[in-house]
Amino acid sequence: MKDLGSAKKILGMEITRDKSVRKLFLSQQAYIEKVLKRFNMNNAKPVTVPFAAHYKLSADMSPKIDEGMEHMSSVPYSSAVGSIIALTGSEMDFEVFEGYFRCWYDI
C-alpha cells in the first residue's frame, strides 16, 4: 500500500485545509461552473435575489401563443431546478461527524 498524501477531492468536492485552526472546507465550485455552463449561464451576472420579494408569478404570465409555448418546452427547467436542489442538498453539517472522525484521524 502506498500513502498518496492528503485528499484533495471527495465526491467531486474540493477539500481545503486550514491546519492552524484545524478545519476542513469543502467547495463545489467545479460543480457550480459545470451547471452554469450546461444551462448557458456561465457569463450570467450574479445577483443576490433574482426577484423582488413582492414579485409573484402566476399562470397568466405563461406564454399564450404556440410559438412561445414551443420555445418554453425546450427550456430544461426541471433539470436546472434539480441541479440546484442537488447542490443545496449536499450541504451537510460536518461538525456532527467531527467527534467521530477525530478518534480515527487527526485532522
10 Å CB burial of residue 32 (0-12, 13-18, 19+) is middle
What is the distance between the alpha carbons of residues 16 and 19, in angstroms, rounded to a whole number? 10
Residue 26 clears pLDDT 60, i.e. is over it: yes
- Residues 63, 69, 71, 77, CA torsion sign: positive
Each residue of 80-107: pLDDT tens digit? 888 887 877 665 555 544 554 555 444 4
Residue 28 clears pLDDT 80, i.e. is over it: yes
All three cell numbers of 62, joined, read 405563461
Q: Note the pTM of the prediction, 2 decimals.
A: 0.57
All three cell numbers of 45, joined, read 451576472
Residue carrying the nine cell digits 491546519: 19
Each residue of 32-61: pLDDT tens digit? 889 889 888 888 887 776 667 777 777 777
Q: pLDDT-derived band of residue 10, with 50, 70 and 90 as boundaries?
A: confident
Within 8 A by CB and 6+ apart from 29, the residues are 14
What is the distance between the alpha carbons of residues 35 and 10, in angstroms, rounded to a whole number? 18
